Structure 1
Amino acid sequence: METDYHLQEQDNHRVDSVLELPSSSSAASSILGSDDVRSSSSSGDISATSSSSSSGDIPATLVAPLPLVGTPAPDLMAAEEATAPPRQKCVGRKNKGVTWGFSSVIGRRREMEDAVAVVPGFMTRTCDHVGGCAGPGSQTSGEISPVHFFGVYDGHGGSQVANFCAERMHKVIAEEWDRETVDGFEWRQRWEATFSSSFERADNEVVTEALAPEMVGSTAVVVVLSGCQIITSNCGDSRVVLCRGTETIPLTVDQKPDREDELMRIESAGGKVINWNGARVLGVLAMSRAIGDRFLRPWVVPVPEISFTTRSDEDECLILASDGLWDVMSNEDVGEVARRLLRRRRRCMMDDEIPAAQAVADSLTEIAFGRNSSDNISVIVVDLKLKRKRQQRQ
């Protein structure tokens, strides 16, 4: 992300990678950050062990009792069962068949200011407790399952705030979720309150802990993935898209200073948007919301925009990326590349070599670099096809 006081020179340094393992055994996090290395990539697999069960009931095929008085005849009962809607279940079942991969490279910039965080199982809750369960009352809705976290942070003016967000944001969100227990909160409102307080709290911690100068900040785009919901929260112009069937669906809207509602907000607060190599707040910052950037208050704010998307069996993958990707590739270009690679690898059963999600992340990064992206490039790809479904398709 450009701050952007001057153009950065080309450099071939590599990007640092830091692997954090929290003390809790229910989660492992991969966190990427800053300074002097060229690239990093990683992939993961959250797999459920198979299980089976049987009851002690005598199979109906062996015993055919006479119908009770007042009950429908067997042939009528069969007809009713055939026309009854299928029983709903959580789309992601226990949310344990998700695989992911990421790539983060310095590209043509002098300094690496991007950071990414992948935290499988950063919370463990029942699907109906998280909210938005597609199969309320089903067995899977009441079973404890992991909730996964993915975040991309694109720093400007320095890497300090982006690195801090990668290390801290998911912990703050988990704490704030537990704190938001006001009676009568509908689940969407609870998540909106959680994200709003989390982004504000992270922003305040940057100041109170004196982590960065006032001219340093970062975008923050995160996804919380439950068994049935894709919940996104965005500050800035990093972006999330969902590949569903043949569609590429944007789940976030870039917060640019010349976006009509953002321009009105900035100007009503006494600020100005100046066109200097693109629209910028006071001619400095190319986005209108971010974590940090205290010198641009009240025009640049850490207030996220939040969206909710119910998962579908047609979902292929999620793609989170910094604008090093989006500056040179459209949503549709990115979606087409992801779908083509995912389906080819599934068809050829190539998952054991390199996870399909990792192959997509690597490919998108290479394409963006090849199209002369001038920024750091960070991409997370989350494969939403559960392993069992991928094997059935093969």
Structure 2
Amino acid sequence: MLHGVRFLRSAAAALARLAHAILGSAGGWALLLRFMPLCPGPTSVATTTATAVPAPSWHHQQQPGRAAPSSKKQVHPAALAVDEIKPAGCGKDQQLTTPAALVLPALNSKQEQQQQGEKTAKAARGRPPRLTIPPPVACAPGVDPFGAAADRETDVATELEVQGEGFCLASRRGVRHAMEDGYGVIAHHITQGGSQLAFYGVYDGHGGRAAVDFVADKLGKNVVAALAAASTAAGRQAESGLPSPPPTGEEEDESETEQVVAAIRAAYLTTDSEFLSQGVRGGACAATALVKDGDLYVANVGDCRAVLGSRGGVATALTSDHTAAREDERRRIESSGGYVSCGSGGVWRVQDCLAVSRAFGDASMKPWVTCEPEVSRRRLTPDCQFLVVASDGLWNKVSCQEAVSAAAAAAAAPSSSAAVGPCKELVALARTRGSRDDITVMVVDLQRFLQL
């Protein structure tokens, strides 16, 4: 009898250990879930409120072969979710039926997971599939592949030769996208007072053609208008009848000079103001010559230059370049609140931007880059042969004396193209010396004004 009881106890203990082992494995829980009754309910499951389940502590799990710290039955965490969450419509006493299919994914071992991760990493590091890049589409001539016309200024010739009344001109575009040089001429004009005058100008734009086109069209007209206004004002003053001693010849000449100089300055500032009122970007440098009653008035802003060629091939610069490298220009800019710095290549610039310190336009650079011109006067004599007016594309490579010598030699050469020969010679000379800028050269015959 005693042996029978011991056998039954041993068998019960073995069954208990087997049951504990089955419940402690994932397969056992899957088997348990297969036989757990589930409550039938509607196809759509409503959201239910579940009782909060405390997070299990994995630091105090019972280790195999050790006694449980408490007499309470331990429950696997997975069983809590099944007991506490029930579909809507399931009563307390209703049985839960097993779903049609409940498949739990097999748990991979640590080694299998590591191998799978290595395969994924290798795939991520793998070479991407081959890319097929189509060949570039051929563009029509004159069309920029980036969507812009190769020459937006189609109405501006890359090379220009002009033979006018008492002057010749040659112009050639540089390596820039568009030609930004221009010129303006009023060859013969008679004022109301009977004075004869002529106006010549060469302009060098930057930031587009807007400024150079505007100045070429307006500046000469504004100079003539300012001279007419000054003459009218002087006539009204003379008619006022105010007693004054008659001026001497020298005083009258000085008064005439001041009047013309003031008119030229007013014309420059008026042209600049009119351009700025349009709200257009860009700017332009200028060098102009006004011949009036035997006097030569030369004005400039920026680095366009006018050089006098006298008898014997003597060169005289009648203008001074307005650049940020000039000490007096630096002082003027700094006194008005701006600054001048020396950048790459040793080029001095205003506000780290413009190399010229005076120009038309450039609204963002006002008041440091002014349009106030420097004006000089010279009485024409038989020694005055011609005047060379050009943009900096020439003067950056050719000196004043070289320009006068080359122009005189070209004018004296017997050829069919002698009319524009001096200008073409100077353009070619600058090109052979590596000028990449736009080049515009005008040569004015001064002898014809002595014969009028």
Corresponding position of 1:256? 323
Partner of 1:229: 295
Matched letter for residue 217 of structure 1: G
CA contact (8 A) 2:170 2:441 kept: yes
Instruction: Show the counterpart of 1:243.
Output: 309
Contact 1:14 1:106 in 2 (8 A): no
Name the counterpart of 1:380. 442
Deviation at 1:226, TM superposition (A): 2.8
Superposed CA offset, 1:182-240 (max 9, x none): 44881111112111111111111112233x22xx1001211012341111111111000
Counterpart of 1:204?
273
On the 8 A contact 2:190/2:196 being kept in 1, the answer is: yes
- Shift in alpha-carbon separation, 1:326–1:309, aligned structure 2, 3 A: same
1:114 to 181, 186, 190: 181
Counterpart of 2:159 in structure 1 is: 39
What is the match of residue 354 of structure 1?
A: 417
Distance 2:450 2:306 in 1: 26
Alignment correspondent of 2:369: 300
Query: Which deviations, in whole Å up to 9, do the C-alpha atoms of 1:256-285 show, x marking residues without a partner?
Result: 112111111011112111112411101110
Q: In 2, distance between residues paired with 1:387 and 1:262?
A: 35
CA drift of 1:384 comes to: 2.2
Equivalent residue runs for 1:282-293 within 5 Å: 282-293=351-362
Q: Distance in 1 between matches of 2:201 and 2:447?
A: 20
Identity %: 30
Shift of 1:354: 3.5
Which of the pair has more CA radius of gyration? 2
**Residues 108-135 of structure 1: per-residue CA shift (max 9 Å, x gap):** 22221111112211x3149xx6xxxxxx
Q: Report the secondary structure of 1:316's partner residue.
A: strand
Deviation at 1:44, TM superposition (A): 1.7
Please tell me whether the aligned partners of residues 115 and 163 of structure 1 are also in contact (alpha carbons under 8 angstroms). yes
With over 3 angstroms needed to count, the CA separation of the structure-2 counterparts of 1:175 and 1:388, relative to structure 1, is closer
Preserved CA contact (<8 Å) 1:15 1:36: no
Residue number among 161, 172, 189 corresponding to 2:211 in the alignment: 161
Answer whether contact 2:191 2:228 (CA < 8 A) is retained: no
Compute the displacement of 1:37 (Å).
3.1
- CA separation in 1, counterparts of 2:391 and 2:449? 28
- TM-score, normalised by the number of residues in structure 1: 0.67
**Distance in 1 (alpha carbons) for counterparts of 2:446 and 2:276:** 37
Q: Is the 8 A contact 1:15 1:37 kept in 2?
A: no
- The alpha-carbon distance between structure 1 residues 388 and 169, as it changes in their structure 2 partners (threshold 3 A), is closer
Aligned mates of 1:15, 1:363 — CA distance in 2: 28
Q: Does 1:280 align with 2:349?
A: yes
Tell me which amino acid in the other structure corresponds to 2:217: E
Q: Residue 44 of structure 1 aligns to which amino acid in structure 2? A: G
CA drift at 1:309: 0.8
What SS class does the counterpart of residue 288 from structure 1 fall into? coil
Aligned equivalent of 2:201: 151
2:256 matched residue in structure 1: 187
- 2:226 aligned to which of 162, 176, 183: 176
Correspondence for 1:365 among 418, 424, 427:
427
CA distance in 1, matches of 2:226, 2:405: 37
Task: Read off the aligned partner of 1:225 and give its amino acid letter.
Answer: V
3-state DSSP of counterpart to 2:431: helix
Counterparts of 1:253 and 1:387 in 2: how far apart (Å)? 25
- 2: CA distance between counterparts of 1:361 and 1:119? 19
Quick check: 2:294–2:449 contact (8 Å CA) kept in 1?
A: no
> Which residue type is aligned with residue 225 of structure 2?
E
Distance between the aligned counterparts of 1:264 and 1:309, measured in 2?
28
**Residues 15, 240 of structure 1: alpha-carbon distance in 2 compared, 3 angstrom cutoff:** farther
Contact 2:303 2:321 in 1 (8 A): yes
Contact residue 266 and residue 299 of structure 1 kept, 8 A: yes
Superposed CA offset, 1:300-355 (max 9, x none): 0010000001111112210000000000001011011112222x24xx4x5xx435
Q: Structure 1 stretches of 5 or more lacking a match?
A: 1-12, 17-33, 46-98, 130-143, 390-394
Superposition deviation, residue 35 in structure 1: 6.1
Q: 1:287 to 1:125 in 2, by over 3 A?
A: same
Q: Distance in 2 between matches of 1:208 and 1:44?
A: 33
| Closer/same/farther in 2, CA of residues 178 and 386 from structure 1, 3 Å limit | closer
Alpha-carbon spacing, 1:36–1:192, altered in 2? closer, same or farther (3 Å): closer
Distance, in Å, in 2 between the alignment partners of 1:370 and 1:107 is 13
Q: CA deviation at 1:254?
A: 0.5
Q: 1:387 to 1:287 in 2, by over 3 A?
A: closer
Range with bigger deviation, 198-207 or 175-184: 175-184
Question: Which is helix-richer, 1 or 2?
Answer: 2
How high is the TM-score relative to the length of structure 2? 0.58
- Equivalent residues of 2:410, 2:418 under 8 A apart: no
The structure-2 alpha-carbon separation of the partners of 1:195 and 1:372, relative to structure 1 and needing over 3 Å to count, comes to same
Give the CA RMSD over aligned residues.
2.3
